[in-house]
Structure 1
Amino acid sequence: MTCMIMALRPVDRVRQDAEPIAAMYREMGTKAAEQIVNRAFAELAMTIAALSHQVRMRDRAEIPRRLRRLQRMCENLGMVSLGLVAADARGAVELGDMTAFAAIWARLLRVAERSLASDKELLDLSL
């Protein structure tokens, strides 16, 4: 009997709403909006890095609060998919379902990577 192993490569569809960032550019002007958006993306990356550290350390105390913060940041930047996945991850932690959290966490990292890459392209187009 032959055993075949197949590698699965999940592909998550990333939804984004360009309007929040476009509104910042319209209201503040290019230079001010660019600074704020770049700062927001840096803060988003730091939040994800802090969450990653907490997950690796299995420090569950602050994870729900940080996930809520991530969710709000995503909403403000129009990162629809990433915000929804952050909410799902927070729900799993709050329920104590760490198996579900592990799966959702992996999805969050994939969506974050794709979202941040897409937002760089979006910013390049808006300049």
Structure 2
Amino acid sequence: MGEIAALRPREVVRQDVEAIAVIYRNLGAPVAEQMVTRALGELALTMAGIAEKVRGQELKDLSRQLSRLGRMAADLGLLTLATVAGDAKICLERADGTAFSAVWARLMRVAERSLTAEAGVADQTF
């Protein structure tokens, strides 16, 4: 028997920094920083709420919440997170449990990378 290799997928997270830059230009740094920080917190809470429902296998209303997550992510320029949330919604609506499980695992990885990568965005000045 050969060696068993543990695969550790590493997601490439695409983002549109222009979305945040526009917020900063339109609102000014102090107000934009508060707004972006609040939006990122809300995004993290939404993701945590969705994760709780998935763990509890409470799939009712999950499609709507995934849509909301996608919109929030897109508004903040988190393109990969928005795309994967949409993919999870499609799998859920098609009742494809296997695909949903795979996409859900990817969504968790992307959310983790997106939210940690974005943690410092509110501190940037544009």
Give the TM-score category using the shorter length.
over 0.9
CA distance in 2, matches of 1:87, 1:99: 16
- Give 3-state SS (helix, strand or coil) of 2:14's partner: coil
Per-residue deviation, 1:20: 1.1
- Give 3-state SS (helix, strand or coil) of 1:5's partner: coil
Q: Which has the higher contact order (CA 8 A, sep 6+)?
A: 2
Per-residue deviation, 1:31: 0.9
Per-residue deviation, 1:82: 0.4
- Give 3-state SS (helix, strand or coil) of 1:68's partner: helix
Whether 1:32 aligns to 2:43 is no
CA distance in 1, matches of 2:39, 2:72: 8
Alignment of 1:32-111 (within 5 A): 32-111=31-110
Per-residue deviation, 1:93: 0.2
CA distance in 1, matches of 2:34, 2:122: 12
Q: Extract unaligned runs of 5+ from structure 2.
A: none
Alignment coverage as a number of residue pairs: 126
Query: What is the RMSD computed on CA atoms of the aligned residues?
Result: 1.3
2:19 corresponding residue in structure 1:
20
CA-to-partner distance for each residue in 1:17-64, whole Å, 9 max, x for gaps?
Answer: 011111111110111111110110010000000001000010111110
Per-residue deviation, 1:113: 1.0
Q: TM-score, normalised by structure 2?
A: 0.94
> Which AA in structure 1 matches 2:101?
A
CA distance in 2, matches of 1:110, 1:94: 21
Q: TM-score, normalised by structure 1?
A: 0.93
Identity across matched positions, percent: 47
Q: Extract unaligned runs of 5+ from structure 1.
A: none
2:3 corresponding residue in structure 1:
4
Q: Which has the higher helix share?
A: 1
Per-residue deviation, 1:3: 4.8
- Give 3-state SS (helix, strand or coil) of 1:37's partner: helix
- Give 3-state SS (helix, strand or coil) of 2:8's partner: coil
